[in-house]
Amino acid sequence: ACVSRAAAAQHLWAAASEGGLGQLGVGLASFLRKRFGKDNVILSDIRKPPEHVFLSGPFIYSDILDYKNLREIVVNNRITWLFHYSALLSAVGEANVSLARAVNITGLHNVLDVAAEHGLRLFVPSTIGAFGPTSPRNPTPDLCIQRPRTIYGVSKVHAELMGEYYYYRYGLDFRCLRYPGIISADSQPGGGTTDYAVQIFHEAVKNGRFECNLRPDTRLPMMYIHDCLRATLEVMEAPAESLSMRTYNISAMSFTPAELAQEVLKHIPELQVTYNVDPVRQAIADSWPMNFDDSNARKDWGWKHDFDLPELVTTMLNFHGSESRVAQAN
């Protein structure tokens, strides 16, 4: 593989991941370390890592807004791949537009420049949030109108276009996947519109009650984290000649809060689900794709998801069930 040493911060370096302490970064680092070796993946963030993360492999402080520091990390560690995960997500982005603009847009510019300057292979995640109310929503193809109405979505469309521009202009090996809402068992979401689909599992097992902040009929594309991380590594390892585009939709399942609750109720019949709609998140969700067309990813580099809704629910409840049994035993 082409990884000599990676960093993940919410980048991965040699592989480096910056933005690495969020919902996805710790899982990505662990996934890449299994593949490339513990010391070949550096995780970075501006937050202090919890002990288990600190002990699991190289971690460094890196602020995506500090270009000189990014360059120093790449040079000193001979980084070859960079996974750029730092971002403010959709709901927190609307609550702090100027910070979202800085991290999601200025931060991206720094990453593009450092990657182009040092010949890195660069992964930047995009999102279903890169589409808007005038995009076709059911299904949403790779190429269509993209007029998002959040700073998060605007910054991601910008990232897709800038990455493609750097590819044609400077030969940067830029690779990008549009992720659906990602559901993870052992990490908390960072302030997005799809967070409810993670929180329901925590609450169902802990309290037997869940208050959902989206309407019961809000349909959104979703994916289990294991599929998301595997897709990320697969597109990074795909032969250059197999990629006909720089940015691909990837899809696994699509459901509403009512459908998710129905599936969880099969395992926890006493679960009580109520709805208290957050108008900001609801407006965002109503502008996003309902189903994602990922036929290009399947055709070009063989993308195939493993987890549908029933497997997702069983896996999440097994994880939370065993966690709560451990907690009770202690």
Ligand X SMILES: NC(=O)C1=CN([C@@H]2O[C@H](COP(=O)(O)OP(=O)(O)OC[C@H]3O[C@@H](n4cnc5c(N)ncnc54)[C@H](O)[C@@H]3O)[C@@H](O)[C@H]2O)C=CC1
The region of 99-107, 126-134, 168-176, 231-239 touching ligand AKB under the rule CB under 6 A is 126-134
State which residue has the least CB distance to ligand X.
22
Q: How far is CA 321 from CA 183, 194, 314, in A?
A: 16, 22, 10
Does position 154 interact with ligand X (CB under 6 A)? The reply is: no
311/253 Cα distance (integer angstroms): 11
Q: How far is CA 223 from CA 36, 120, 235, in A?
A: 24, 28, 16
- Residue 135 binding: pick among ligand X, ligand AKB, none (C-beta 5-8 Å cut-off by kind): none
Find out whether the peptide bond into 125 is cis, omega within 30 degrees of 0: no
Does position 57 interact with ligand AKB (CB under 6 A)? The reply is: no
Q: Which of 79, 103, 128, 264 binds ligand AKB (CB under 6 A)?
A: 128
Least distance to ligand AKB from the beta carbon of 89, Å? 4
Does position 192 interact with ligand AKB (CB under 6 A)? The reply is: yes
Query: Residue 99, Cβ neighbours under 10 Å: how many?
Result: 13
- Residue 94 binding: pick among ligand X, ligand AKB, none (C-beta 5-8 Å cut-off by kind): none
With contacts defined by CB under 6 A, how many residues of the chain interact with ligand AKB?
10
Measure CA 174 to chain center.
Answer: 16
Whether residue 165 lies in the annotated active site: no
Does position 129 interact with ligand AKB (CB under 6 A)? The reply is: yes
227/123 Cα distance (integer angstroms): 16
With contacts defined by CB under 6 A, how many residues of the chain interact with ligand X?
30
**Crossing angle for the helix pair 107-117 and 67-76, nearest 10 degrees?**
30
**What residue type is 41 in one-letter code?**
V
Alpha-helical segments (H) within 140-240: 151-170, 196-207, 225-237
Candidate list 152, 179, 196, 224, residue with the active-site label: 152
**Crossing angle for the helix pair 196-207 and 257-265, nearest 10 degrees?**
30
Measure CA 57 to chain center.
Answer: 21
Q: Which of 58, 93, 148, 181 binds ligand X (CB under 6 A)?
A: 181
Least distance to ligand X from the beta carbon of 219, Å? 16
Q: Which of 77, 86, 140, 251 binds ligand X (CB under 6 A)?
A: 86
221/223 Cα distance (integer angstroms): 7
Does position 177 interact with ligand AKB (CB under 6 A)? The reply is: no
- Residue 90 binding: pick among ligand X, ligand AKB, none (C-beta 5-8 Å cut-off by kind): ligand AKB
Residues in the chain, overall count? 330
Q: Based on the number of CB atoms within 10 Å of its own CB, is 282 exposed (0-12), middle (13-18) or buried (19 or more)?
A: middle
Least distance to ligand AKB from the beta carbon of 121, Å? 23
Least distance to ligand AKB from the beta carbon of 39, Å? 31
Nearest CA-CA partner of 254 in 288, 203, 283:
288
Q: Using the minimum distance from each CB to ligand AKB, give the nearer residue, 70 or 197.
A: 197
Chain residues 24-53 in contact with ligand X, contact rule CB under 6 A: 24-25, 45-47
Cβ atoms of 115 and 68 within 8 Å: the answer is no
Q: Using the minimum distance from each CB to ligand AKB, give the nearer residue, 62 or 126.
A: 126
List of residues contacting ligand X (CB under 6 A): 9-10, 18-19, 21-25, 45-47, 63-65, 85-87, 89, 103, 107, 125, 127, 179, 181-182, 189-190, 192, 194
List of residues contacting ligand AKB (CB under 6 A): 89-90, 127-129, 152, 181, 192-194
